[in-house]
Structure 1
Protein backbone atom coordinates (compact mmCIF):
# COMPACT_ATOMS: atom_id res chain seq x y z
CA UNK A 1 0.00 0.00 0.00
CA UNK A 2 1.33 3.41 -0.97
CA UNK A 3 0.55 6.49 1.07
CA UNK A 4 -0.10 9.52 -1.10
CA UNK A 5 2.50 12.04 0.01
CA UNK A 6 1.94 15.78 -0.04
CA UNK A 7 5.13 16.65 -1.96
CA UNK A 8 4.47 16.87 -5.68
CA UNK A 9 6.33 16.70 -8.97
CA UNK A 10 4.94 18.77 -11.83
CA UNK A 11 5.70 18.09 -15.49
CA UNK A 12 4.92 19.31 -19.01
CA UNK A 13 2.87 22.42 -18.29
CA UNK A 14 1.81 24.76 -21.12
CA UNK A 15 0.22 28.18 -20.96
CA UNK A 16 -3.54 28.80 -21.12
CA UNK A 17 -5.15 32.01 -22.22
CA UNK A 18 -5.37 34.53 -19.33
CA UNK A 19 -8.82 34.53 -17.76
CA UNK A 20 -9.93 31.39 -19.57
CA UNK A 21 -12.16 29.23 -17.37
CA UNK A 22 -11.39 25.57 -16.80
CA UNK A 23 -14.51 23.40 -17.01
CA UNK A 24 -14.40 20.77 -14.26
CA UNK A 25 -16.55 17.78 -13.35
CA UNK A 26 -16.39 16.40 -9.80
CA UNK A 27 -17.10 12.83 -8.70
CA UNK A 28 -16.92 11.59 -5.09
CA UNK A 29 -17.84 8.45 -3.21
CA UNK A 30 -20.17 10.27 -0.82
CA UNK A 31 -22.38 13.38 -1.03
CA UNK A 32 -20.61 15.22 1.79
CA UNK A 33 -17.24 15.06 0.02
CA UNK A 34 -18.88 15.99 -3.26
CA UNK A 35 -20.53 19.04 -1.69
CA UNK A 36 -17.29 20.09 0.01
CA UNK A 37 -15.15 19.86 -3.13
CA UNK A 38 -17.75 21.56 -5.25
CA UNK A 39 -17.98 24.38 -2.71
CA UNK A 40 -14.19 24.79 -2.74
CA UNK A 41 -14.09 25.07 -6.51
CA UNK A 42 -17.11 27.34 -6.85
CA UNK A 43 -15.12 30.00 -5.05
CA UNK A 44 -12.36 29.85 -7.68
CA UNK A 45 -12.77 32.51 -10.37
CA UNK A 46 -11.21 30.60 -13.27
CA UNK A 47 -12.90 27.24 -12.58
CA UNK A 48 -16.40 26.32 -13.75
CA UNK A 49 -17.99 23.24 -12.13
CA UNK A 50 -20.32 21.23 -14.34
CA UNK A 51 -23.47 19.74 -12.86
CA UNK A 52 -23.09 16.36 -14.57
CA UNK A 53 -20.35 14.20 -12.97
CA UNK A 54 -19.37 12.66 -16.33
CA UNK A 55 -19.99 15.22 -19.10
CA UNK A 56 -18.10 14.88 -22.38
CA UNK A 57 -17.17 18.55 -22.77
CA UNK A 58 -15.15 19.33 -19.64
CA UNK A 59 -11.43 20.11 -19.46
CA UNK A 60 -10.63 18.20 -16.25
CA UNK A 61 -12.27 15.46 -14.17
CA UNK A 62 -11.79 15.36 -10.38
CA UNK A 63 -12.20 12.13 -8.38
CA UNK A 64 -12.25 12.18 -4.57
CA UNK A 65 -11.89 8.89 -2.66
CA UNK A 66 -10.38 7.35 0.46
CA UNK A 67 -9.09 4.30 -1.45
CA UNK A 68 -9.30 3.19 -5.07
CA UNK A 69 -11.58 0.17 -4.77
CA UNK A 70 -12.88 -1.92 -7.69
CA UNK A 71 -16.09 0.12 -7.54
CA UNK A 72 -14.12 3.37 -7.77
CA UNK A 73 -12.11 2.02 -10.70
CA UNK A 74 -15.34 1.09 -12.46
CA UNK A 75 -16.60 4.67 -12.08
CA UNK A 76 -13.28 6.10 -13.25
CA UNK A 77 -13.24 3.79 -16.27
CA UNK A 78 -16.79 4.86 -17.11
CA UNK A 79 -15.72 8.50 -16.99
CA UNK A 80 -12.67 7.80 -19.17
CA UNK A 81 -14.89 6.13 -21.76
CA UNK A 82 -17.27 9.10 -21.87
CA UNK A 83 -14.78 11.97 -21.71
CA UNK A 84 -11.32 12.53 -23.12
CA UNK A 85 -10.47 14.92 -20.28
CA UNK A 86 -7.47 14.25 -18.00
CA UNK A 87 -8.21 13.66 -14.33
CA UNK A 88 -7.12 14.72 -10.86
CA UNK A 89 -7.38 12.08 -8.13
CA UNK A 90 -7.78 13.20 -4.51
CA UNK A 91 -7.12 10.15 -2.33
CA UNK A 92 -5.91 9.19 1.11
CA UNK A 93 -3.95 6.17 -0.12
CA UNK A 94 -3.37 4.08 -3.23
CA UNK A 95 -2.68 0.38 -3.56
CA UNK A 96 0.43 -0.20 -5.65
CA UNK A 97 -1.47 -2.81 -7.66
CA UNK A 98 -3.96 -0.28 -9.03
CA UNK A 99 -1.53 2.50 -9.95
CA UNK A 100 -1.34 1.61 -13.63
CA UNK A 101 -5.10 1.11 -13.76
CA UNK A 102 -5.54 4.62 -12.38
CA UNK A 103 -3.24 6.02 -15.07
CA UNK A 104 -5.26 4.16 -17.70
CA UNK A 105 -8.24 6.22 -16.50
CA UNK A 106 -6.31 9.36 -17.56
CA UNK A 107 -5.33 10.38 -14.02
CA UNK A 108 -2.30 12.67 -14.34
CA UNK A 109 -2.43 14.37 -10.94
CA UNK A 110 -2.75 12.95 -7.42
CA UNK A 111 -3.30 14.90 -4.20
CA UNK A 112 -3.45 13.63 -0.64
CA UNK A 113 -6.90 14.24 0.87
CA UNK A 114 -5.40 15.60 4.06
CA UNK A 115 -3.68 18.50 2.29
CA UNK A 116 -6.04 19.06 -0.63
CA UNK A 117 -6.99 22.65 0.16
CA UNK A 118 -9.05 24.61 -2.31
CA UNK A 119 -5.95 26.48 -3.47
CA UNK A 120 -3.90 23.31 -4.03
CA UNK A 121 -6.75 21.57 -5.81
CA UNK A 122 -7.37 24.57 -8.07
CA UNK A 123 -3.66 24.77 -8.89
CA UNK A 124 -3.54 21.05 -9.77
CA UNK A 125 -6.57 21.52 -12.01
CA UNK A 126 -4.91 24.41 -13.81
CA UNK A 127 -1.70 22.42 -14.36
CA UNK A 128 -3.64 19.44 -15.70
CA UNK A 129 -5.76 21.64 -17.97
CA UNK A 130 -2.54 23.05 -19.43
CA UNK A 131 -1.24 19.58 -20.27
CA UNK A 132 0.89 19.00 -17.17
CA UNK A 133 0.89 16.52 -14.33
CA UNK A 134 1.23 16.55 -10.55
CA UNK A 135 2.45 13.39 -8.83
CA UNK A 136 3.94 12.75 -5.38
CA UNK A 137 7.56 11.65 -5.70
CA UNK A 138 6.88 8.19 -4.26
CA UNK A 139 4.07 7.56 -6.76
CA UNK A 140 6.14 8.81 -9.67
CA UNK A 141 8.97 6.44 -8.77
CA UNK A 142 6.59 3.51 -8.31
CA UNK A 143 4.86 4.26 -11.62
CA UNK A 144 8.17 4.32 -13.49
CA UNK A 145 9.13 0.98 -11.92
CA UNK A 146 5.82 -0.56 -12.96
CA UNK A 147 6.16 0.73 -16.51
CA UNK A 148 9.70 -0.70 -16.67
CA UNK A 149 8.43 -4.07 -15.40
CA UNK A 150 5.57 -4.02 -17.91
CA UNK A 151 8.01 -3.37 -20.72
CA UNK A 152 10.45 -6.07 -19.56
CA UNK A 153 7.97 -8.81 -18.61
CA UNK A 154 5.13 -8.29 -21.11
CA UNK A 155 6.17 -6.25 -24.14
CA UNK A 156 9.78 -7.26 -24.81
CA UNK A 157 9.04 -11.05 -24.88
CA UNK A 158 6.45 -10.30 -27.60
CA UNK A 159 8.77 -8.06 -29.58
CA UNK A 160 6.75 -4.95 -28.74
CA UNK A 161 7.74 -1.53 -27.47
CA UNK A 162 5.85 0.67 -25.02
CA UNK A 163 3.74 2.10 -27.84
CA UNK A 164 2.58 -1.38 -28.84
CA UNK A 165 4.62 -1.64 -32.08
CA UNK A 166 7.06 -4.38 -33.03
CA UNK A 167 10.60 -3.55 -34.14
CA UNK A 168 9.64 -4.61 -37.67
CA UNK A 169 6.69 -2.22 -37.66
CA UNK A 170 8.89 0.64 -36.42
CA UNK A 171 11.38 -0.04 -39.23
CA UNK A 172 8.64 0.03 -41.85
CA UNK A 173 7.09 3.16 -40.35
CA UNK A 174 10.36 5.10 -40.42
CA UNK A 175 10.95 4.39 -44.08
CA UNK A 176 7.29 5.02 -44.89
CA UNK A 177 7.58 8.43 -43.24
CA UNK A 178 10.56 9.18 -45.52
CA UNK A 179 8.39 8.58 -48.57
CA UNK A 180 9.57 5.10 -49.55
CA UNK A 181 7.08 2.78 -51.29
CA UNK A 182 6.43 -0.86 -50.39
CA UNK A 183 8.92 -2.27 -52.87
CA UNK A 184 11.71 0.06 -51.73
CA UNK A 185 11.00 -0.68 -48.06
CA UNK A 186 11.08 -4.40 -48.75
CA UNK A 187 14.47 -4.20 -50.46
CA UNK A 188 15.89 -2.02 -47.69
CA UNK A 189 14.70 -4.29 -44.87
CA UNK A 190 15.05 -7.61 -46.75
CA UNK A 191 11.30 -8.31 -46.72
CA UNK A 192 9.06 -9.18 -49.62
CA UNK A 193 6.84 -6.41 -50.94
CA UNK A 194 3.82 -8.47 -49.85
CA UNK A 195 5.17 -8.65 -46.28
CA UNK A 196 5.59 -4.87 -46.16
CA UNK A 197 2.03 -4.36 -47.41
CA UNK A 198 0.72 -6.81 -44.80
CA UNK A 199 2.62 -5.01 -42.02
CA UNK A 200 1.19 -1.64 -43.09
CA UNK A 201 -2.33 -3.07 -43.42
CA UNK A 202 -2.11 -4.64 -39.95
CA UNK A 203 -1.12 -1.29 -38.39
CA UNK A 204 -3.79 0.76 -40.17
CA UNK A 205 -6.46 -1.79 -39.24
CA UNK A 206 -5.34 -2.00 -35.60
CA UNK A 207 -5.36 1.78 -35.25
CA UNK A 208 -8.57 2.18 -37.30
CA UNK A 209 -6.87 4.49 -39.81
CA UNK A 210 -7.81 4.81 -43.47
CA UNK A 211 -4.49 5.02 -45.29
CA UNK A 212 -0.72 5.36 -45.12
CA UNK A 213 -0.60 9.16 -44.70
CA UNK A 214 -2.95 8.88 -41.70
CA UNK A 215 -0.76 6.12 -40.26
CA UNK A 216 2.41 8.19 -40.58
CA UNK A 217 0.71 11.30 -39.19
CA UNK A 218 -0.63 9.36 -36.20
CA UNK A 219 2.76 7.83 -35.38
CA UNK A 220 4.58 11.16 -35.68
CA UNK A 221 1.97 12.90 -33.53
CA UNK A 222 2.12 10.25 -30.81
CA UNK A 223 5.92 10.06 -30.80
CA UNK A 224 6.21 6.51 -32.13
CA UNK A 225 8.63 7.69 -34.83
Structure 2
Protein backbone atom coordinates (compact mmCIF):
# COMPACT_ATOMS: atom_id res chain seq x y z
CA UNK A 1 0.00 0.00 0.00
CA UNK A 2 1.15 3.53 -0.70
CA UNK A 3 0.98 6.56 1.56
CA UNK A 4 -2.78 6.73 1.04
CA UNK A 5 -3.31 5.72 4.65
CA UNK A 6 -6.32 3.70 5.74
CA UNK A 7 -8.75 2.54 3.07
CA UNK A 8 -11.34 5.25 2.62
CA UNK A 9 -9.06 7.76 4.32
CA UNK A 10 -8.22 11.11 2.81
CA UNK A 11 -4.88 11.72 1.15
CA UNK A 12 -3.27 15.12 1.71
CA UNK A 13 -2.06 16.62 -1.57
CA UNK A 14 0.06 19.65 -2.45
CA UNK A 15 -0.03 20.92 -6.05
CA UNK A 16 3.03 22.45 -7.68
CA UNK A 17 2.38 23.89 -11.14
CA UNK A 18 4.53 25.96 -13.45
CA UNK A 19 1.78 28.53 -14.01
CA UNK A 20 -1.49 29.72 -12.52
CA UNK A 21 -3.64 28.14 -15.25
CA UNK A 22 -2.24 24.66 -14.59
CA UNK A 23 -2.48 25.19 -10.82
CA UNK A 24 -6.10 26.35 -11.01
CA UNK A 25 -7.11 23.50 -13.31
CA UNK A 26 -5.54 20.85 -11.09
CA UNK A 27 -7.10 22.28 -7.93
CA UNK A 28 -10.49 22.49 -9.67
CA UNK A 29 -10.26 18.79 -10.60
CA UNK A 30 -9.28 17.61 -7.12
CA UNK A 31 -11.04 19.86 -4.62
CA UNK A 32 -14.46 18.29 -5.16
CA UNK A 33 -13.20 14.78 -4.38
CA UNK A 34 -13.79 13.63 -0.79
CA UNK A 35 -10.73 11.32 -0.95
CA UNK A 36 -8.42 14.30 -1.43
CA UNK A 37 -7.39 16.93 1.11
CA UNK A 38 -5.84 19.81 -0.84
CA UNK A 39 -3.28 21.66 1.23
CA UNK A 40 -2.60 25.38 0.97
CA UNK A 41 0.94 26.37 0.01
CA UNK A 42 1.82 27.19 3.63
CA UNK A 43 1.11 23.56 4.64
CA UNK A 44 2.59 21.86 1.55
CA UNK A 45 5.46 20.34 3.55
CA UNK A 46 3.05 17.98 5.33
CA UNK A 47 1.54 16.58 2.12
CA UNK A 48 1.45 12.81 1.72
CA UNK A 49 1.52 13.34 -2.05
CA UNK A 50 3.02 16.20 -4.05
CA UNK A 51 1.66 16.61 -7.58
CA UNK A 52 3.95 18.46 -9.98
CA UNK A 53 2.14 19.73 -13.10
CA UNK A 54 4.26 20.92 -16.04
CA UNK A 55 4.32 21.07 -19.83
CA UNK A 56 7.71 19.35 -19.99
CA UNK A 57 10.53 18.21 -17.73
CA UNK A 58 13.05 21.06 -17.82
CA UNK A 59 15.78 22.20 -15.44
CA UNK A 60 13.46 24.12 -13.05
CA UNK A 61 11.21 21.03 -12.90
CA UNK A 62 14.20 18.80 -12.09
CA UNK A 63 15.25 21.21 -9.33
CA UNK A 64 11.74 21.09 -7.84
CA UNK A 65 11.64 17.29 -8.06
CA UNK A 66 15.00 17.05 -6.26
CA UNK A 67 13.72 19.40 -3.53
CA UNK A 68 10.60 17.28 -3.06
CA UNK A 69 12.71 14.11 -3.02
CA UNK A 70 14.59 15.47 0.00
CA UNK A 71 11.25 15.85 1.82
CA UNK A 72 11.00 12.21 2.87
CA UNK A 73 7.38 12.50 4.04
CA UNK A 74 5.95 13.04 0.54
CA UNK A 75 5.57 10.88 -2.55
CA UNK A 76 5.85 12.75 -5.83
CA UNK A 77 3.56 12.37 -8.83
CA UNK A 78 4.23 14.11 -12.13
CA UNK A 79 1.53 15.27 -14.53
CA UNK A 80 3.33 16.29 -17.72
CA UNK A 81 2.29 17.50 -21.16
CA UNK A 82 5.02 15.57 -22.96
CA UNK A 83 8.44 14.18 -22.24
CA UNK A 84 11.36 12.89 -24.24
CA UNK A 85 12.56 9.33 -23.68
CA UNK A 86 15.64 10.60 -21.83
CA UNK A 87 13.45 12.38 -19.29
CA UNK A 88 12.16 9.08 -17.91
CA UNK A 89 15.54 8.25 -16.36
CA UNK A 90 15.67 11.76 -14.86
CA UNK A 91 12.20 11.29 -13.35
CA UNK A 92 13.27 8.00 -11.77
CA UNK A 93 16.44 9.58 -10.39
CA UNK A 94 14.32 12.38 -8.90
CA UNK A 95 12.16 9.88 -7.03
CA UNK A 96 8.98 10.35 -9.05
CA UNK A 97 6.56 7.61 -7.97
CA UNK A 98 4.00 7.98 -10.78
CA UNK A 99 3.63 9.79 -14.10
CA UNK A 100 0.47 10.78 -15.95
CA UNK A 101 0.27 12.60 -19.27
CA UNK A 102 -1.74 15.81 -18.96
CA UNK A 103 -3.93 14.81 -21.90
CA UNK A 104 -5.06 11.75 -19.91
CA UNK A 105 -5.42 13.54 -16.57
CA UNK A 106 -9.14 13.46 -15.90
CA UNK A 107 -10.52 13.59 -12.37
CA UNK A 108 -10.73 9.82 -11.86
CA UNK A 109 -7.22 9.17 -13.19
CA UNK A 110 -5.79 11.90 -10.96
CA UNK A 111 -7.45 10.45 -7.87
CA UNK A 112 -6.29 6.95 -8.83
CA UNK A 113 -2.73 8.26 -9.29
CA UNK A 114 -2.77 9.94 -5.87
CA UNK A 115 -4.23 6.94 -4.06
CA UNK A 116 -1.90 4.47 -5.80
CA UNK A 117 1.14 6.21 -4.37
Instruction: Classify the TM-score, shorter chain.
Output: 0.7 to 0.9
**CA shift at 1:53, angstroms?**
7.5
Tell me the equivalent position of 1:29: 18
- Tell me the C-alpha RMSD between the 2 structures: 2.2
Task: Say whether the 8 Å CA contact 1:55–1:83 is kept in structure 2.
Answer: no
User: 2: distance between equivalents of 1:24 and 1:109?
Assistant: 14
User: 2: distance between equivalents of 1:13 and 1:78?
Assistant: 20
| TM-score, normalised via structure 1 length | 0.48
Q: Which runs of 5+ in 1 are unaligned?
A: 1-11, 129-225
Task: Say whether the 8 Å CA contact 2:65–2:96 is kept in structure 1.
Answer: no
Richer in helix (by share) = 1
Tell me the equivalent position of 1:91: 80
Q: Deviations over 1:147-202 (max 9, x none)?
A: xxxxxxxxxxxxxxxxxxxxxxxxxxxxxxxxxxxxxxxxxxxxxxxxxxxxxxxx
Tell me the equivalent position of 1:109: 98
Richer in strand (by share) = 2
| TM-score, normalised via structure 2 length | 0.87
Q: Quick one: structure 1 residues 123 and 84, their matched pair in 2 at CA, closer, same or farther if it must change by over 3 Å?
A: same
Are 1:58 and 2:57 an aligned pair?
Answer: no
Task: Say whether the 8 Å CA contact 2:49–2:114 is kept in structure 1.
Answer: yes
Q: Deviations over 1:30-64 (max 9, x none)?
A: 10110110111101101101112783321111011
Instruction: Give the 3-state SS of the residue equivalent to 2:28 in structure 1.
Output: helix
Task: Say whether the 8 Å CA contact 1:90–1:111 is kept in structure 2.
Answer: yes
Equivalent of residue 45 in structure 1, options 16, 34, 40: 34
**CA shift at 1:84, angstroms?**
3.4
Equivalent of residue 112 in structure 2, options 80, 104, 123: 123
User: 1: distance between equivalents of 2:44 and 2:97?
Assistant: 18
Task: Say whether the 8 Å CA contact 1:33–1:64 is kept in structure 2.
Answer: yes
User: 2: distance between equivalents of 1:95 and 1:15?
Assistant: 30
Q: Pick 1 or 2: higher relative contact order, CA cutoff 8 A, min separation 6.
A: 2
**CA shift at 1:99, angstroms?**
1.8
